[in-house]
C-alpha cells in the first residue's frame, strides 16, 4: 500500500534551526598537510613573560633577593688557642681555705706523722715550679684554693733520700737513678713535682725535660752537630729553651756560682769571674751556640775542683735533680730525616743522647759527682708501645732483684721480634765502680692505702667539694671504686659535688 505522505511533502518541511543541531567541528581553513599556523590565528601568550617592555639596561630574568652579609668573628691570633689549651690555673677563689694547712719544707718533708695529709706548695716556689713546667693542664689544681700534694709512703722515702744526700752523713754526695712507672693516674708526674719542690727547699739545681715528645716529632729545628760527626744532630732552639727554664728556676743558686773551668769552645765568651747565670744566658741570647753553652754549664755544675788558674772564688757545687717525664718517646725513630731522607733515631739527637747517657755509670767518675737524683718517669696516657723498652724495664727489675744476666730466668727479647738493640744497650751496663753511684732502679707507683685515701678525701671535704660523712665504710667504697686507691680516680670521685637535704 502506497503511503499518502509523498516525497513532495517532505520537501515542503521547514529546515531545523542551527541551535538544535550539534555543533559542527571547525574544519581547518588550510589543507591538513600544511605546516603553517592557522590563518588569522593570534599568537599564544607566554605564561612566564614579564609585564611590560624591559627598561633600559634591565635584565629580563627573575630578580633574586640578595642575602645580607653574615658578620663573622675574627679568628684568634696565632698561638692563642695553644696558650689557652696549655693554660695552668693554680687557684680557685670559690674554694674554701683549709685552716691549719702546712707548707712543704726541709723540716717536715720526711715527717712520718704527716702521712696521709696534704701539704701546700709555698707561694714563692710556684714561680720556680712553673718555670720547669712541673704542672700539667689536666691536673686538678684549679679546684682548690691553693695547690697542695698528699704525703704518701713514696713521698716520705723521697724526702729522706734528698735529705740524706744534702746533709752530712753516709749518703752525702750519693747519686741515685730511678725510673718511675705505674698505671694511669697513679701520680707519677706529681711524684716528680714533689721531688722538685723538695730539691728547691734544699737549694739544689733542678734541670727538667717536661715534654720529651716535643723533641722527636720534628717540632723544632735541627742540624748536624759538626762535619766530623754528621750522624749526630743538634737542636739549638730546644737547648736554648732548656737553658731558659734552668736559669729562671735556679736563678738564686746560679748567681752565687762562678766559672771555674776552661771552655775553649766558647773562646772569649766565657770569662773568668762570670757567674753561671751569665754563662747560661749566652746560649739563650744566641741559640746558635746553645748546645756549646749547655755543655759548659753542665761541666761547671758537675765540677769537683777548679781548673788551674781559676781557684779564686770557687764554691762547691750543689747536688742536682734531673727529671724527664715521658721516657718512652725517646726509644724509637724520630720524625726527623737525614739528607738521604732516612729516619733519624732518637738516640742520634745529642739532646736525648746526653740525658740517656746519665743513666749509665760514669767511666772515670760518677755521672753526678756532687750527688743528686735522676728521676725519669714513663707515661701511661701518652706513651707509644715499644717492645724493646718493655724488655729493658723487665731487665732492670731483674738486675734490681739480683738475677744474674747470664741466668736462664733473666728476661731477654724474642729473637724473632725485631727488637731495637740500641734501646736494650741503653739500659745494659755493668755495676758502677764508684761507691757513691747507685745502680739504676725501677720504682712502680701503686694506689694509696686506705688511711692515705681517707686523708686525701678529707682534704676535699675541708675545701668544700664534698658534703659527705667520711667514715671507714665510705672511704672503703671509694677506695675500691678507684681501683685500689689510684689517686687519679680518687680525685674524680672527690670532685663530684653532692648536696644532701
What digits encode the pLDDT tens for the residues 122-133?
Answer: 999 999 999 999
Q: pLDDT > 90: what percent of the chain? A: 62
Neighbouring C-beta atoms of residue 52, cutoff 10 Å:
6
Q: pLDDT > 70: what percent of the chain? A: 86
Residue that wins the pLDDT comparison between 87 and 169: 87
Sign of the alpha-carbon dihedral angle for 430, 435, 436, 442 = positive
pLDDT for 44 equals 64
- C-alpha grid cell for residue 64? 633574586
Residue-averaged pLDDT of the chain: 87
Q: Is the pLDDT at 248 greater than 90, yes or no?
A: yes
For residue 397, how far is the Cα from the chain centroid? 28
Q: Is the pLDDT at 29 greater than 60, yes or no?
A: no
Q: What one-character DSSP code corresponds to residue 49? A: P
- C-alpha grid cell for residue 189? 708526674
- Helix H, strand E, coil C: the string for 63-116 is CCCCCCCCCCCCCCCCCHHHHHHCCCCCCCCCCCCCCCCCECCCCCCCCHHHCC
Give the three-state DSSP class for 25.
coil
Q: Is the pLDDT at 236 greater than 90, yes or no?
A: yes
Which residue matches cell numbers 624591559? 54
Average pLDDT over residues 327-346: 95
CA-wise closest residue to 459 among 140, 177, 246: 140
CA-wise closest residue to 156 among 92, 108, 86, 103: 108
d(CA 221, CA 420): 26
Instruction: Tell me how far CA of residue 78 lies from CA of 75, 106, 198, 241, in angstroms.
Output: 9, 43, 37, 20
Least confident of 10-19, 373-382, 492-501: 10-19
Sign of the alpha-carbon dihedral angle for 84, 86, 87, 92 = positive
Hey, where are the domains in the chain? 93-233+320-445, 238-302, 451-496
pLDDT for 464 equals 87
Q: Confidence band (pLDDT; 50, 70, 90) for 382?
A: confident
Note the maximum CA span of the chain: 171
Which residue matches cell numbers 739500659? 427
Average pLDDT over residues 412-438: 89
pTM, full prediction? 0.83
pLDDT for 409 equals 93
Neighbouring C-beta atoms of residue 25, cutoff 10 Å:
6
Is 148 in contact with 158 (CB distance < 8 Å)? no
Give the three-state DSSP class for 488.
helix
Q: Is the pLDDT at 431 greater than 80, yes or no?
A: yes
Q: Confidence band (pLDDT; 50, 70, 90) for 1?
A: very low
Average pLDDT over residues 432-461: 91
pLDDT for 45 equals 60
Q: Is the pLDDT at 22 greater than 60, yes or no?
A: no
pLDDT for 43 equals 64
CA-wise closest residue to 457 among 442, 477, 436: 477
Residue that wins the pLDDT comparison between 474 and 33: 474
Least confident of 48-57, 141-150, 471-480: 48-57
d(CA 176, CA 338): 36
d(CA 159, CA 161): 5
pLDDT for 198 equals 95
Average pLDDT over residues 312-321: 91
Average pLDDT over residues 265-289: 90
Least confident of 27-41, 69-83, 215-229, 280-294: 27-41
Average pLDDT over residues 256-285: 90
Amino acid at each position: 500500500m502506497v503511503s499518502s505522505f509523498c516525497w513532495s511533502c517532505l520537501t515542503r518541511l521547514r529546515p531545523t534551526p542551527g541551535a538544535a543541531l550539534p555543533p559542527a567541528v571547525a574544519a581547518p581553513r588550510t589543507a591538513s598537510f600544511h605546516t603553517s599556523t592557522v590563518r588569522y590565528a593570534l599568537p599564544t601568550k607566554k605564561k612566564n613573560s614579564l609585564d611590560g617592555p624591559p627598561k633600559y639596561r634591565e635584565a629580563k630574568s627573575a630578580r633574586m633577593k640578595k642575602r645580607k652579609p653574615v658578620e663573622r668573628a675574627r679568628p684568634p691570633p696565632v698561638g692563642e688557642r695553644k696558650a689557652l689549651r696549655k693554660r695552668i690555673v693554680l687557684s680557685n677563689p670559690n674554694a674554701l681555705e683549709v685552716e691549719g694547712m702546712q707548707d712543704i719544707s726541709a723540716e717536715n718533708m720526711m715527717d712520718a706523722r704527716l702521712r696521709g695529709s696534704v701539704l701546700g706548695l709555698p707561694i714563692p716556689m710556684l714561680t720556680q715550679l712553673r718555670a720547669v713546667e712541673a704542672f700539667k693542664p689536666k691536673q686538678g689544681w684549679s679546684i682548690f684554693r691553693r695547690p697542695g700534694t698528699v704525703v704518701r709512703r713514696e713521698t716520705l722515702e723521697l724526702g729522706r733520700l734528698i735529705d740524706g744526700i744534702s746533709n752530712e752523713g753516709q749518703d752525702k754526695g750519693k747519686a741515685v737513678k730511678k725510673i718511675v712507672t705505674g698505671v694511669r693516674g697513679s701520680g707519677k708526674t706529681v711524684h716528680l713535682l714533689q721531688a722538685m719542690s723538695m730539691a728547691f727547699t734544699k737549694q739544689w739545681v733542678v734541670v727538667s725535660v717536661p715534654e720529651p715528645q716535643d723533641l722527636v716529632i720534628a717540632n723544632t729545628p735541627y742540624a748536624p752537630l759538626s762535619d766530623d760527626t754528621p750522624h749526630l744532630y743538634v737542636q739549638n732552639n730546644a737547648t736554648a729553651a732548656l737553658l731558659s727554664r734552668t736559669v729562671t728556676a735556679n736563678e738564686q743558686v746560679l748567681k752565687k756560682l762562678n766559672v771555674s773551668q776552661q771552655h775553649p769552645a766558647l773562646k772569649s765568651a766565657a770569662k773568668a769571674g762570670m757567674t753561671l747565670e751569665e754563662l747560661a744566658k749566652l746560649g739563650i741570647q744566641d741559640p746558635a751556640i746553645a748546645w756549646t753553652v749547655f755543655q759548659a754549664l753542665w761541666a761547671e755544675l758537675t765540677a769537683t775542683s777548679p781548673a788551674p788558674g781559676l781557684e779564686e772564688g770557687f764554691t762547691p757545687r750543689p747536688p742536682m735533680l734531673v727529671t724527664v717525664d715521658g721516657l718512652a718517646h725517646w726509644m724509637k725513630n724520630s720524625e726527623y730525616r737525614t739528607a738521604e731522607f732516612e729516619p733519624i733515631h732518637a738516640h742520634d739527637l745529642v739532646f736525648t743522647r746526653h740525658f740517656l747517657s746519665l743513666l749509665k755509670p760514669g767511666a772515670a767518675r760518677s755521672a753526678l759527682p756532687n750527688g743528686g737524683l735522676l728521676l725519669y718517669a714513663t707515661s701511661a696516657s701518652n706513651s707509644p708501645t715499644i717492645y724493646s723498652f718493655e724488655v729493658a724495664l723487665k731487665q732492670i727489675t731483674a738486675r734490681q732483684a739480683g738475677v744474674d744476666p747470664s741466668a736462664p730466668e733473666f728476661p731477654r727479647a724474642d729473637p724473632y721480634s725485631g727488637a731495637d738493640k740500641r734501646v736494650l744497650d741503653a739500659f745494659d751496663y755493668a755495676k758502677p765502680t764508684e761507691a757513691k753511684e747507685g745502680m739504676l732502679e725501677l720504682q712502680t707507683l701503686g694506689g694509696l692505702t686506705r688511711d692515705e685515701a681517707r686523708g686525701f678525701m678529707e682534704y676535699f671535704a675541708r675545701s668544700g667539694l664534698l658534703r659527705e660523712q667520711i667514715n671507714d665504710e665510705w672511704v672503703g667504697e671509694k677506695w675500691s671504686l678507684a681501683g685500689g686507691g689510684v689517686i687519679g680516680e680518687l680525685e674524680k670521685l672527690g670532685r663530684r659535688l653532692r648536696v644532701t637535704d
